[in-house]
Amino acid sequence: MNLWLTAILFFCGMLLSALFSGSETGFYRVNRTRLLLDSRSGDRVSRFLLWLTHQPTLFVATALVGNNVANQLVSLSIVLAAAHLAHATPMWETMLPVLASPVVFIYGELLPKHIFYQAPNRLLRLAGPLFALFTVLFTPLTMTLWLIGRLIEKWIGHTPLRLAMTLARKELTRIFRESEDLGLLEPTQARLAHAIIEAGPQPVRRYVTPLSRVVAVPEGTDVEEIERVARRNRTSVVGIRSRSNRDLLGYIRLVELRLERDRGAPTIHSLPRLPADASIVSAISRLRREDADWGLAVDQNGRPVGIVRIEQVLDRIIPGN
């Protein structure tokens, strides 16, 4: 093969390697809020990129296939060039792959990743049409990878959404950091946001208080005794247990107890039931919506695991808050 054609083959392989390697980094850095605004203004490239962010499996499969195609083109061009030059100088057959390796690594992998890291939105928008073309061209291969992934998911028994959650957490973290730099968030608010994002995937069961350690009194206990128990345990909320089977019926807020002292029996708040394997952020959100201080964590069979207390959860997530 002519050396010029070999050089063109090498150049095309390097361009594809730079495209897919850089796009992979840019995909994890892109500002999805800006993509959403641009897509609503009618930008088709931004609309495609926004759609692709919701299909991380497709993007990863396309990038992997594209990188492999690029590497094959580069390797083929180097082998052909080495074979052509070896007729004149046999040493080129060994020296050319050695000399080309750092060039391929720097200009085909490292430098594109660094450039896309610095300006992900702008460069992804420029590379978007070309990436969309290869997404269509590689569909037979990417669909095969997708089917293999689905089989693995079925065999394992759960759907791996970890990648999507990681992308969302990174995006939120960056937004909070930028908001703090602009003065839109106070340092305390930013610290709270970061802590909640980090704790988000953790299950409820990691934050429960065992039922045996819950501060509680039997139902029908007089107001003075409830207040003494609350003061002794330094708590503003006291649980109420059934006299018959010792089950936790609910809880009483000390402030309401004092306000309703002359109104008869105090108000007993029920315990929202929270799946023990659910995320702690979803549990806190539900407790806030229902204006509940405590929640009852239950396992898959509905058996109580422990009590979730908002104040205790926030103390563990943000020490000293």
Domain boundaries, the chain: 3-156, 162-199, 205-317
Contact 100, 78 (CB under 8 A): yes
Between 77 and 30, the more confident residue is 77
Cα dihedral 169, 172, 174, 176 sign: negative
What pLDDT does residue 30 have?
Answer: 80
| Confidence (pLDDT) at 187 | 65
pLDDT in tens, 193-238: 656 655 556 788 888 889 888 889 998 888 888 889 988 988 889 9
Structure tokens at 106: 């720097």
Cα–Cα dist 29/274, whole Å? 34
C-beta separation of 224 from 238 below 8 A:
no
Would you state the structure tokens that stand for residue 50, as one six-digit string? Answer: 């926004």
- Among 301, 251, 247, 295, CA closest to 274: 295
Q: What is the CATH number of domain 205-317?
A: 3.10.580.10
Residue type, 48: F
The stretch 50-62 carries a mean pLDDT of 81
| Listed range (44-48, 161-165, 180-184, 296-300) with the worst mean pLDDT | 161-165
Query: What's the CA gap between 106 and 117, in Å, rounded?
Result: 15
- CA–CA dist 23, 67 (Å, integer): 11
The answer to whether 59 and 52 have CB atoms below 8 angstroms apart is yes
What local confidence, expressed as pLDDT, does residue 12 receive? 92
C-alpha 284/C-alpha 194 separation (Å) is 15
Q: How far apart are CA 85 and CA 88, in angstroms?
A: 6
Question: Across the chain, what does the average pLDDT equal?
Answer: 80
If we measure between CA atoms, which residue out of 268, 275, 291, 287 comes closest to residue 216? 268
Q: Is the pLDDT of residue 177 over 90?
A: no
Q: Which of 28, 46, 37, 282 is nearest to 164 (CA)?
A: 28
CA gap 4, 202 in Å, rounded: 57
Least confident of 161-175, 234-248, 270-284: 161-175
Q: Does the pLDDT at position 276 exceed 80?
A: yes
Q: What is this structure's pTM?
A: 0.50
Closest CA to 10 of 77, 105, 71, 68: 77
99-105: long-range pairs with CB below 8 Å, 24+ = 100/74, 104/14, 104/17, 104/74
- Cα diameter, the chain: 106
Strands 304-309 and 294-298, how do they pair? antiparallel
- Distance CA(286)–CA(296), nearest Å, equals 12
The neighbouring-strand residues paired with 209 are 307
The CA R_g of the chain, rounded to the nearest whole Å, is 30
